[in-house]
């Protein structure tokens, strides 16, 4: 889906309102993705099944000939295990913070996967500028610990990009949405590039959509096999 619209002068309030209005309105997502992972030490491509019950659960399974990992994320917990490494994690969102270099909760992770802003752009006053034919929203009063920017597409008002920048700690998280598909009258990211930079380390994850259906029934059963070693963070 290409953007054919020109970003015209518009108030920050109206851009924020249109972005909120573009929010994903289906109950479930059942998607097949290709994921490319690179952190300098490990570089691999895997197939990922994503099952999401909106506001309830995000279920993931990664395979490459065999199941490499399974994960179940709810608003209160993160559970993960790897039949390949014979280890598991059960706990809070510390695991995701370590991966992405910034605090992230369930709702923010869900929004990240759906092309929506990590923070509610209507909760605080925003500034708006136009750059490269996109609207860039940023809070009038940035948070003490980091700056955040939302780059919004003038065609469908989903995100082109969102960035969290902590200049003091030399950390940043960029989530880029190069393209979207229209499926069942719903605009859904067909590619997501996640780039997390921290001092002396980085994590790049690219998701490429292979297929997706909405509002279907599926299984999200999850149980950690006995005998696996617990990951301590």
The string of pLDDT tens digits covering residues 156-172 is 999 999 999 988 889 99
Mean pLDDT of the chain: 93
Task: Please state the φ and ψ torsions of residue 40, each to the nearest 5 degrees.
Answer: 90, -35
pLDDT score of 1: 59
The mean pLDDT of 19-26, rounded to a whole number, is 94
Most trustworthy range by pLDDT among 45-49, 63-67, 81-85, 143-147 = 45-49
Residue 2 clears pLDDT 60, i.e. is over it: no
> Of all residues in the chain, what percent carry a pLDDT higher than 90?
79
pLDDT score of 143: 73
Q: What does the alpha-carbon distance between residue 176 and residue 157 come to, in Å, rounded to a whole number?
A: 14
> Of all residues in the chain, what percent carry a pLDDT higher than 70?
97
Report residue 54's pLDDT band, with 50, 70 and 90 as the boundaries.
very high
What are 180-210's pLDDT values in tens digits? 999 999 999 999 999 999 999 999 999 999 9
DSSP secondary structure, 149-189, as one string? EEEE-TTT-SEEEEEEEETTTTEEEEEEEEEEEEETTEEEE
Maximal C-alpha separation, the chain: 60
The mean pLDDT of 8-17, rounded to a whole number, is 93
What are 36-51's pLDDT values in tens digits? 999 999 999 999 999 9
What are 209-225's pLDDT values in tens digits? 999 999 999 999 999 99
Residue 199 and residue 171 in contact, taking contact as beta carbons nearer than 8 Å = yes
Q: What does the alpha-carbon distance between residue 173 and residue 203 come to, in Å, rounded to a whole number?
A: 10
Q: 230 or 96, which is more confident? A: 230
| Burial zone of 15 (CB within 10 Å; 0-12 exposed, 13-18 middle, 19+ buried) | buried
pLDDT score of 202: 92
């Amino acid at each position: 889906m290409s953007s054919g619209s020109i970003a015209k002068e518009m108030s920050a309030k109206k851009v924020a309102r249109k972005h909120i209005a573009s929010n994903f309105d289906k109950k479930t997502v059942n998607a097949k993705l290709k994921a490319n992972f690179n952190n300098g030490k490990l570089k691999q491509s895997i197939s990922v099944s994503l099952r999401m019950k909106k506001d309830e659960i995000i279920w993931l399974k990664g395979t490459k000939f065999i199941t490499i990992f399974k994960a179940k994320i709810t608003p209160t917990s993160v559970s993960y295990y790897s039949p390949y490494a014979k280890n598991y994690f059960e706990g809070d969102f510390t695991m995701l913070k370590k991966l992405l270099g910034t605090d992230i909760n369930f709702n923010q992770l869900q929004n990240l996967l759906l092309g929506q802003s990590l923070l509610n752009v209507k909760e605080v006053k925003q500034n708006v500028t136009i750059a490269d034919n996109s609207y860039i929203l940023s809070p009038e009063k940035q948070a003490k610990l980091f700056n955040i920017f939302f780059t919004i597409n003038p065609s469908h008002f989903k995100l082109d990009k969102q960035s969290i920048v902590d200049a003091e700690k030399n950390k940043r998280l960029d989530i880029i949405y190069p393209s979207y598909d229209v499926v069942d009258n719903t605009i859904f990211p067909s590619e997501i590039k996640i780039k997390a930079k921290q001092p002396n380390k980085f994590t790049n994850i690219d998701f490429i959509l292979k297929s997706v259906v909405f509002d279907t029934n599926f299984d999200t059963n999850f149980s950690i096999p006995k005998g696996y070693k617990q990951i301590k963070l």
